[in-house]
Structure 1
Amino acid sequence: MTSRVLYLFGAAAPPVHDVSDVISTAQDRGYTVCLGLTPTAADWLAPHITGLERQTGHLVRSQYKQPGTADVWPRADVIAFAPATFNSLNAWALGITSTFVVGVVAEGIGKGIPMVTMPCVNAAYAVHPQLDLSITTLRSAGVRVLYGPGGFVPNPPGQGLPSAYPWELLLDAVDQQATPTL
């Protein structure tokens, strides 16, 4: 059996700083990992990008490629978007593809790529009515959204514990969504 390809996407929320550990765990589970970041998350991780590229064996992407340029990543078997911020979730659900990672996941719905996302929003964002609408929209499109009981539960603003972000839940859901390649 060959390695399954996981596109791991992250937005600018504090748990994104743990992405190297998540990559290692995914690789231990048999995935080839390609890392994509929102532009702000890429800025946050800028000092680590070279190391992350060595770790994955692929370029870390945060921008669209030039038209006519060949893809530098293998085809995804599954996509995981976590942490997914309020902004990224809403943009994805509304089809606003101004960032590379949101563009890929929006298109991934139409391509039928299995996808899992786990938000990282504080309780103040969680009461905004658009969040529930966006989660409902993504779920109805076939995206597995790990939010609420059995997924991410929001904390009060400024009281999050990034080290408590439930990455294992995300990777377990990835395993359930991914189809083995023979």
Structure 2
Amino acid sequence: MTRVLYLIATAAGPTQYIDRGVHAAKAAGWDTCLILTPTAASWWEGRLSELEQLTGHPVRHRYTRPGESGGLPEADAMLVAPLTTTSLCKWGAGITDTVALGIPAEAVHLGVPVAAMPFWSTALGAQPAVARALAALREQGVVLLDGPDGYQPHPPKTGDGASYPWHRALAAVEALTQA
């Protein structure tokens, strides 16, 4: 049986290496569909077809028009990674102005397991809105990996997107789907 994972990436450093996340998810046995924020998609502009070949699915980065299909199979689980403070705060406040936020915001209330792992600096993470958004998403059932078992915020200007711990995020998703 094929398991479908929606890997949803926001515009954080590791998204430059999102192909690594896709490879890791595929190695873990997931049929991986990729959804990007508009800014994250712009980083792959001219190369989105590479990601589509890698996943075997369209890469979503905008809402569909009425009557238009998104072209993705139904998800068994979702992983929002990397997650920026901007996207976290919007999602926690219920602002779903991008498909990358709208899909997991709805899915968690439809019973789809949703995990999210951040990538942000200690300075951005210190904003009071971040703690409120983390609490709001946890209250809704989102599993947030914002500590030693996920991603610890880095000092400003020192984040290393190339060494993002995809294995931790995928292990959390695996645990969610086994529960």
Closer, same or farther: CA 154–6 of 1 in aligned 2, 3 Å: same
Paired residue type of 1:159 = T
Matched, 1:96 2:126: no
* Equivalences, count: 179
Paired residue type of 2:100 = V
- Across the aligned residues of Structure 1 and Structure 2, the Cα RMSD in angstroms comes to 1.3
TM-score between the two structures when normalised by the length of structure 1: 0.94
Cα shift at 1:179: 5.4
Residues of 2 paired with 1:143 and 1:15: CA distance?
Answer: 21
Secondary structure of 1:178's aligned partner: helix
Structure 1 gaps, min length 5: none
- 1:87-130 per-residue CA deviation (whole Å, 9 max, x = no partner) reads 11111111101111101111112211100100111111111011
Cα shift at 1:172: 0.5
TM-score between the two structures when normalised by the length of structure 2: 0.95
Contact 1:122-1:155 within 8 A present in 2 as well: yes
- Residue in 2 that maps onto 1:36: 35
- 1:59-98 per-residue CA deviation (whole Å, 9 max, x = no partner) reads 0010001112234100000000000001111111111011
Residues of 1 paired with 2:152 and 2:160: CA distance?
Answer: 11
Contact 1:77-1:179 within 8 A present in 2 as well: no
Structure 1 range deviating more: 91-100 or 157-166? 157-166
Secondary structure of 1:106's aligned partner: helix
Residues of 2 paired with 1:16 and 1:172: CA distance?
Answer: 19
Cα shift at 1:20: 0.9
The aligned runs of 1:4-83 (5 Å cut-off) are 4-83=3-82
- Residue in 2 that maps onto 1:154: 153
Sequence identity of aligned pairs in percent?
39
Cα shift at 1:32: 0.6
Closer, same or farther: CA 138–105 of 1 in aligned 2, 3 Å: same
Residues of 2 paired with 1:129 and 1:120: CA distance?
Answer: 17
- Residue in 2 that maps onto 1:110: 109
Structure 2 gaps, min length 5: none
Residues of 1 paired with 2:104 and 2:91: CA distance?
Answer: 7
Residues of 1 paired with 2:178 and 2:70: CA distance?
Answer: 22
Residues of 2 paired with 1:20 and 1:164: CA distance?
Answer: 13
Secondary structure of 2:47's aligned partner: helix
Structure 1 range deviating more: 62-71 or 138-147? 62-71
Paired residue type of 2:75 = A
